[in-house]
């Protein structure tokens, strides 16, 4: 634990979700008093009791430790602090009049305006939420409008102001958040050099990676670029999967062979792209520069087309079976987490339920109850073994570790639509199993 003569006696983290809560807990573990702010009373109550409302390995133990030590507490309203870290969602909005989804900055604006009344001269405000280029500048303007008695920085300004403002995006992998918050490099984009220096002081409390300084607009686009890069490469893999399906080629064998080239690293195809970052952030670039971001927009179109394609394959198979029971393996947007945000697996199950293709069983080992939108459509949450015993069709949507332990005999005689290439990785795979799959072209497709 660091000594108490720290540059910040109290830090406030606004937004206690998948990034905000781990950040607040790690900051508190350095010895700083941290006040987390969230509008959800249930989340605040859980944290103050030393519990967590989200799942992340190691997080519950850490939260309990810092809460018990009196270093972390949660509240529904902001309190005075020396530094404020804003980590709230940045979804996109869609409407019939919009050519592309537009970023919704209402959560960021609400967070900024909520802390404005408690700001004092010398405070630091850091935006961590993934944001379109120019959002940090807008945040300074929103704060200035509420607090005209304080001075706020202008981009590239050299005058020292009352409030320091910077942008520093998170760059972590769900399931490894606590580790990567500490070890990953951080990009720090202040609205001025003084702002960047102040932000560096906060991140040096816990970051072991490099803290690299740039301007706020470049920092904002850096985060968007990282996720757009992934999205474009996944789209390439998904398009190759479609081509392989058309040409009767095993896409997984193709990628394995192509990746033996020393300068080729094709990613894995799948049922789409999910999560709050990769499925959303590229649209922020497209909305800012629609005429220039054509490849990025096309990649989004390719990846967004995947869930409907999987649904069509399941529908086609279900028509050949009377009253089929369909087991959908996985709802999360990636393996071994409970995060369902922007999950293509969720979308597949929801569309299948709305089309009444058969009895739908959802297997998701990382959640305790189905989301209301699925249970309202008649989807049943089932345990893996029970679901496979009942199923006529198995749709593999996520490669959770539990699914890798499936005995291939459990799938024998069923139609298997494998969107993750899991069949070839099963520990007890057999030729008997492979020959029993009634839709081998769909298994190969692994959308």
Q: Looking at the annotation, which residues are catalytic?
A: 223, 277
- CA-based R_g, the chain, Å: 24
165, 136 Cβ separation under 8 angstroms: yes
Q: Residues near 14 by Cβ (< 8 Å), separated by ≥ 6?
A: 20, 36, 37, 38, 78, 84, 85, 86, 87, 88, 111, 114, 115
29, 62 Cβ separation under 8 angstroms: yes
The Cα 266–Cα 268 span in angstroms is 7
The Cα 183–Cα 176 span in angstroms is 11
Which runs of E-coded beta strand occur in 198-237? Answer: 211-215
- What would the two tokens of residue 393 be? 């069709």
Q: How many CB atoms lie within 10 A of CB 263?
A: 4
Which runs of E-coded beta strand occur in 289-414? Answer: 325-329, 359-363, 380-381, 393-396
The Cα 238–Cα 275 span in angstroms is 17
Helices (H), 289-329: 294-304, 306-318
- What would the two tokens of residue 374 be? 């699925």
> What single DSSP character describes residue 392?
S
Q: Give the torsion sign (CA, 287, 288, 294, 300).
A: negative
Q: Residues near 229 by Cβ (< 8 Å), separated by ≥ 6?
A: none
Q: How many CB atoms lie within 10 A of CB 20?
A: 25
Helix, strand, or coil here: 179?
helix
224, 283 Cβ separation under 8 angstroms: no
Task: Tell me the residue length of the chain.
Answer: 447
Q: Residues near 260 by Cβ (< 8 Å), separated by ≥ 6?
A: none
């Amino acid at each position: 634990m660091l000594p108490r003569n720290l540059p910040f006696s109290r830090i406030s983290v606004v937004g206690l979700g998948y990034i905000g809560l781990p950040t607040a807990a790690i900051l508190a573990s350095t010895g700083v008093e941290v006040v987390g702010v969230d509008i959800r009373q249930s989340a605040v109550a859980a944290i103050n009791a030393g519990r967590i409302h989200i799942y992340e390995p190691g997080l519950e133990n850490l939260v309990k430790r810092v809460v018990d030590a009196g270093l972390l507490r949660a509240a529904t309203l902001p309190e005075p602090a020396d530094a404020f870290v804003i980590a709230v969602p940045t979804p996109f909005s869609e409407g019939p009049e919009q050519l592309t989804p537009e970023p919704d900055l209402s959560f960021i604006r609400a967070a900024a305006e909520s802390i404005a009344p408690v700001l004092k001269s010398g405070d630091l405000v850091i935006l961590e939420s993934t944001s379109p280029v120019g959002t940090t500048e807008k945040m300074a303007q929103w704060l200035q409008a509420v607090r005209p008695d304080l001075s706020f920085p202008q981009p590239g300004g050299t005058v020292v102001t009352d409030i320091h403002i910077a942008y520093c995006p998170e760059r972590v992998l769900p399931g490894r958040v606590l580790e990567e918050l500490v070890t990953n490099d951080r990009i720090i984009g202040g609205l001025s050099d003084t702002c960047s220096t102040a932000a560096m002081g906060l991140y040096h409390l816990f970051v072991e990676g490099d803290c690299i300084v740039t301007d706020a607009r470049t920092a904002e686009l850096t985060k968007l670029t990282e996720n757009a890069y992934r999205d474009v490469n996944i789209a390439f893999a998904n398009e190759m999967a479609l081509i392989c399906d058309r040409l009767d080629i095993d896409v997984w064998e193709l990628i394995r062979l192509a990746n033996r080239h020393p300068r080729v690293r094709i990613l894995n195809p799948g049922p789409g792209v999910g999560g709050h970052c990769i499925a959303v952030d590229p649209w922020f670039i497209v909305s800012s520069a629609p005429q220039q971001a054509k490849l990025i927009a096309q990649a989004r179109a390719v990846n967004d087309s995947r869930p409907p394609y999987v649904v069509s394959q399941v529908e086609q198979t279900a028509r050949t079976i009377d009253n089929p029971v369909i087991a959908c393996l996985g709802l999360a947007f990636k393996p071994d987490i409970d995060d369902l945000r922007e999950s293509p697996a969720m979308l597949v199950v929801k569309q299948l339920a709305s089309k009444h293709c058969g009895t739908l069983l959802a297997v998701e080992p990382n959640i305790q109850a189905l989301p209301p939108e699925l249970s309202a459509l008649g989807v049943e949450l089932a345990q893996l073994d029970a679901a496979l015993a009942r199923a006529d069709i198995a749709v593999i949507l996520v490669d959770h570790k539990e699914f890798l332990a499936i005995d291939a005999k459990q799938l024998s005689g069923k139609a298997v639509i494998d969107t993750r290439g899991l069949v070839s990785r099963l520990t007890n795979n057999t030729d008997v199993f492979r020959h029993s799959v009634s839709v081998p072209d769909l298994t190969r497709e692994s959308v």
